[in-house]
């Protein structure tokens, strides 16, 4: 049995929150993710952004940590990222 209280929120805002997006490595996915996220949050510093190429070199994943102010802000970021044709998935 869990000690978690179901009425307590999973996230307490404001908080630092990592967002990961993946796309084909043939474009500048890192710049695209930064640009989209910057529409909704303060532009990240270089230390808050990392990119990793897949072992086959076809895909690149970008992890960006933002200062999230609300669930609505995170939802808007996820909606914009998933709506872009160059982004395959977002977690």
**pLDDT exceeds cutoff 70 at 1:** no
**Could you report the per-residue pLDDT of 8-44, keeping only the tens digit for each?**
778 999 999 999 999 999 989 999 999 999 999 999 9
pLDDT for res 8: 72
Q: Beta-carbon neighbour count of residue 35 at 10 Å? A: 13
**For residue 83, which of 21, 16, 17 has the smallest C-alpha distance?**
21
User: Which residue did the predictor score with more confidence, 26 or 3?
Assistant: 26
pLDDT for res 9: 75
Q: How close are the terminal C-alpha atoms of the chain, in Å?
A: 28
With cut-offs at 50, 70 and 90, classify the pLDDT of residue 2: low
DSSP secondary structure string for all residues of 12-51: -SSEEEEEEEEEETTS-HHHHHHHHHHTTSPPPPGGGEEE
pLDDT averaged over the chain?
Answer: 93
Domain residue ranges in the chain: 15-90
Measured distance CA(55)–CA(81) in Å, rounded: 23
Query: How far from the centroid of its chain's Cα atoms is residue 27's Cα?
Result: 18
Q: Compute φ and ψ for 74, nearest 5 degrees.
A: -65, -40
pLDDT for res 4: 61
Mean pLDDT of 56-71: 97
- Topology given in CATH for the domain delimited by 15-90: Alpha-Beta Plaits (3.30.70)
């Amino acid at each position: 049995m869990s000690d978690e209280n179901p009425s307590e929120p999973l996230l307490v805002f404001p908080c630092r929150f990592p967002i990961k997006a993946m796309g084909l490595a043939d474009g500048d996915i890192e710049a695209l993710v930064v640009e989209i996220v910057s529409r909704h949050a303060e532009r990240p510093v270089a230390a808050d952004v990392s990119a990793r190429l897949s072992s086959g070199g076809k895909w690149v994943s970008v992890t960006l940590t933002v200062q999230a102010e609300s669930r609505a802000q995170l939802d808007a970021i996820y909606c914009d990222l998933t709506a872009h044709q160059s982004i395959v998935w977002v977690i």
